[in-house]
Amino acid sequence: MSTVNPPVVFTQDELGWVSWIDPLPEAELTERHYAGLVDRARAKSEYFRLLVRDPEVLEARTRTDKDIFYNTADGLPRAERELAAAATSRYNGCIYCASVHARFASTYSKRRDDVQRLLDEGVEADLGERWNAVVKASVALAATPIAFGPGNIEELRRAGLDDAEIVDVINGASFFNWANRLMLSLGEPSK
């Protein structure tokens, strides 16, 4: 295995990810595995070739992920879904997930400096009413026991979100409690 150079700060740079246990070799993938990967190109990724050891779970997880983040009809703008993902990852401590979704949040919001402040200062950074409400709701959902309550709903509504958009925040933040735990525990990021 090549040398791992783990990042020690949160960053928007592109990172690699190295598995601690054996992914399936590309040569051993069958049609059942490709169905699990959803996008054939994902066979190039060590992370997905590891998760594809359980293809049915990976396929359902991938389709859940895509709809929560990419289906922006009648709902929260993509930038704020990515913000929920980045804030959750920052709070749980997933440097890899935070890097990917901070980059997306920057791309879609054009607020790269604010996103960087979330990474540098943490989830208490003051990013304005609307983003603060999304970050706070994501953090409350990530806590165990879950701390999300009526106060979060009120703040999100005051910031202008309707119930469909609030559901997008709940879905996006909750999904990253799934993603963070896989990324953090099956391998590690590398610069």
Partner 1 sequence: MGTQDIIDTLAGIEPGSALDAIRARRLQARENAQKSYLALFEPIDASEFSLAERAAVAAFVTGLHGESAVAAFYREKLAANANRAPLLEAIKAEIERGRTSGPYGAFPAGPLSIENKAGLIYRVSAERKPDLGARLTAALEHAHLLVFRPRDAASADMKALLAAGWSTTGIVTLSQLVAFLSFQVRVVSGLRTLAAASAQEVAS
Binding interface with partner 1 (CB under 8 A): 6-10, 20-22, 50-51, 53-54, 56-61, 63-64, 66-68, 71, 73-75, 91-95, 122, 141-146, 148-150, 152-154, 163-164, 166-168, 170-171, 173-175, 177-182, 184-186, 188
Give whichever of 110 and 161 is closer to partner 1, judged by the CB atom.
161
Burial label, 154 (beta-carbon count in 10 A; 0-12, 13-18, 19+): exposed
Inter-residue contact 131 to 102 (CB < 8 Å): no
DSSP codes joined into one string, 89-119: HHHHT-HHHHHHHHHHHHHHHS-HHHHHHHH
Pairwise CA distance, residues 36 & 176, whole Å:
20
Give min distance, CB of 75 to partner 1, in A.
7
Give whichever of 110 and 144 is closer to partner 1, judged by the CB atom.
144
Give min distance, CB of 41 to partner 1, in A.
20
Give whichever of 106 and 171 is closer to partner 1, judged by the CB atom.
171
Give min distance, CB of 45 to partner 1, in A.
14
Give min distance, CB of 147 to partner 1, in A.
9
Inter-residue contact 188 to 18 (CB < 8 Å): yes
Inter-residue contact 69 to 81 (CB < 8 Å): yes
Question: Token pair of 75, please?
Answer: 């709902």
Give whichever of 107 and 190 is closer to partner 1, judged by the CB atom.
190
Pairwise CA distance, residues 84 & 135, whole Å:
6
Give min distance, CB of 109 to partner 1, in A.
21
Give whichever of 41 and 73 is closer to partner 1, judged by the CB atom.
73
